[in-house]
Amino acid sequence: MKESIYDVKGRIAVTRRINASDQISARNHQLIFNFSEHCRLQGLSNLKILFYLNRFWNIARYTEKNFDKLNKHDIEALVKRIQNIGYSPRTVADYLMAIKTFWKWLEGKSEIYPEKVAWIKPRQRTTLYLHSDNAVSI
């Protein structure tokens, strides 16, 4: 079988990094892996699950509270921290989308965005102009 160019199985090592981290509470470990299992059951690709695992490994280290104990003020502080770290606008948008999706699962039964994250607006897609008459949406 031909290996994926993304080497997703090899990069799943992020799960070991999360498990080994003493910077992440046991509760957040549990929530991260429960969310990743939910994503798998929803049919998300291994690459998308890896995307979420990587984001939440960092997010869990950016906050001292368990995710299920964060209030709107805590989420606002988390968003501000992510925006001020120096990530590219696309990376910031990825983090914000991950936060909204996670809390929709955690508190919105995967159907609605809870008030504490509903206000988050990840950057809209932009148009990259390659040539004057050819544009590609990213």
**The length of the chain, given as a count of residues:** 138
Q: Whole-prediction pTM value?
A: 0.78
**pLDDT (0 to 100) of residue 1:** 45
* Distance from C-alpha of 77 to C-alpha of 57, rounded to nearest angstrom: 17
**pLDDT (0 to 100) of residue 77:** 96
Residue at 19 is within a domain? yes
**pLDDT (0 to 100) of residue 46:** 85
Residue at 57 is within a domain? yes
Residue at 3 is within a domain? no
Question: Could you list the residue range(s) of the whole structural domain that residue 62 is in?
Answer: 8-137
Residue at 1 is within a domain? no
Distances (CA, A) of 117 to 2, 6, 35, 47, 99: 40, 31, 17, 24, 8
Residue at 2 is within a domain? no
The amino acid occupying position 32 is I
pLDDT tens-digit profile, the chain (138 residues): 445 555 656 566 666 667 667 788 999 999 999 999 999 999 999 889 989 998 998 999 999 999 999 999 999 999 999 999 999 999 999 999 999 999 999 998 889 999 999 999 987 555 555 555 555 555
Give 65-95 as a 3 state SS string. Answer: CCHHHCCHHHHHHHHHHHHHCCCCHHHHHHH
